[in-house]
Amino acid sequence: MILVTGATGHLGNVLVRLLVASKQNVRAMVVPFEDTLPLEGLPIQIVKGDIRDYDFVRDASKDVEVVYHLAAMISILGKKRMVYEVNVGGTENIIKACKENRVQRLVYVSSIHAFSEPKPGSLIDESVPIDPQKTSGDYAKSKAMATLKVLESAKEGLNAVIVCPTGIVGPYDWRVSEMGNLLLLYSKNLLKVGVSGSFDFVDVRDVANLLIKTCSEAEKGDLFIASGHYTTIRAFIQTLQKIRSSRSVNIFLPSYVAYPVSLITSVYYLIRKKKPLLTPYSVHTLTRNYVYSHQKATEKLGYSPRPLCDSLRDALQWFEDNGYLKKISSALTFAERSS
């Protein structure tokens, strides 16, 4: 039996699908109030509970050989206690439960943001230290703290390994991730302003496959960066335009303009109780211009991420096929008939 936490998330449901396809018995851990639509029709066992509840985590981990721990709370706004309770406390519960239930392997999904931040433009590989004090934002700090706890547990004997993805894109984005939201805004002609920066984007299916490969082939305590392709935000938008034309993004803000704009938009969306796309943290991330190396995963595990264009094309097609762009397609068809 394999336990997957965070199973309804973008990466989580894709991982579950791959495991089911390989005839594995899967137990999916889901928060009680979450919609299980991403897992609908899959022959799996679903257990609902709070990862902050140790008794629940211990019981969910019984009779399990492998745990894939993906559950996390992402926050790109101000400090939230729950970010630490879920990301750090939840990981502590998983580690304790794995030890108590003698789980054979723990695969922890951390984040590229867990690494210390060197000077802008630097190359980040696995030699860069994990240090919560040298990261920005509560999400990054919490993931760094949790990563250190997993590494420490491996030194103490737990058979644990870690994978750190960059910006995940691709199909099966049922709950609409941060990147999925950006793609939908672009498709709806609502993405008018970009940031003059860059980031690394990786296909969700490539990360899920790497998790499985890491589980079976990596050494205890090993850590891998699951990056894909470095691209400027301008080039990212240009790639989208080649796939699906849109009246979108003709202004790219430099950091000194993007920061104050992000502060204003964050307050505006908080008042409206909506999630902003542009925040001080997202501006910070995009303007660091780091290059993330997946050389270690390539050399040790044969990791080879697919082209970004393929990932974006498949993501947009999946959104359209599953009704997320239905109104847009109808509007375009009407416009064509009227012309």
Establish if 31 belongs to a structural domain. Answer: yes
Asked if residue 148 lies in contact with residue 116, where contact means CB atoms within 8 angstroms, the answer is: no
- The whole-number pLDDT of residue 262 equals 75
Q: What is the pLDDT of residue 335?
A: 32
Tens digit of pLDDT for each residue in 98-124?
999 999 999 999 999 999 999 999 999
- The per-residue pLDDT for 260 is 84
Q: Over the range 273-305, which residues count as b (16 or more CB within 10 Å of their CB) and which as e?
A: eeebbbbbbbbbbbbbebebbbebbeeebebeb
pLDDT band at 161; cut points 50, 70, 90: very high
Taking 80 as the threshold, does the pLDDT of residue 226 lie above it? Answer: yes
Q: What is the mean pLDDT of residues 73-92?
A: 83
In-domain check, residue 64? yes
Q: Please check whether residue 251 lies inside any domain of the structure.
A: no
Residue 164 lies in a domain: yes
For strand 251-253 and strand 193-195, is the pairing parallel, antiparallel, or unpaired? Answer: parallel
Task: Identify the pLDDT of residue 329.
Answer: 41
Question: pLDDT value at position 334?
Answer: 30
Give the β-pairing of 251-253 and 223-226: unpaired
**pLDDT value at 330 more than 60:** no
DSSP state of 112: G
Total domains in the fold of the chain: 1
Residue 331 confidence (pLDDT) above 90: no
* 196 is a domain residue: no
Q: What is the pLDDT of residue 77?
A: 55
Q: By three-state DSSP, how is residue 203 classified?
A: strand
pLDDT digits (tens, 9 = 90+) for 169-195: 999 999 999 899 889 989 988 888 878
**In the predicted structure, residue 338 carries a pLDDT above the cut 60:** no
Q: Which domain holds residue 222?
A: 2-171+201-228+291-299
Check pLDDT > 70 for residue 278: yes
Tell me if 85 is assigned to some domain: yes
Cα–Cα distance between 318 and 270 in angstroms, integer? Answer: 30
Angle CA 228–233–237, to nearest 5: 95
The closest of 98, 99, 7 to 61, measured between CA atoms, is 98
**Domain-embedded: residue 281:** no
Residue 333 pLDDT > 70: no
Secondary structure (3-state) at 111: coil
Q: What is the pLDDT of residue 283?
A: 83
Q: Please indicate, yes or no, if residue 237 is contained in any of the structural domains.
A: no
Span of 159-163, 197-201, 240-244, 268-272 with lowest mean pLDDT = 268-272
Residue 255 has pLDDT above 90, yes or no: no
% of the chain surpassing 90 pLDDT: 73
Average pLDDT of the residues of the chain: 90
More confident residue, 282 or 310: 310
Residue range 23-33: average pLDDT?
95
CATH number of the domain within which 49 lies? 3.40.50.720
Of 165, 221, 203, 214, nearest to 309 by C-alpha is 203
Mean pLDDT on 55-69? 97
pLDDT score of 65 more than 60:
yes
Looking at residue 336, what is its pLDDT? 30
DSSP 219-242: PTT-EEEE--EEEEHHHHHHHHHH
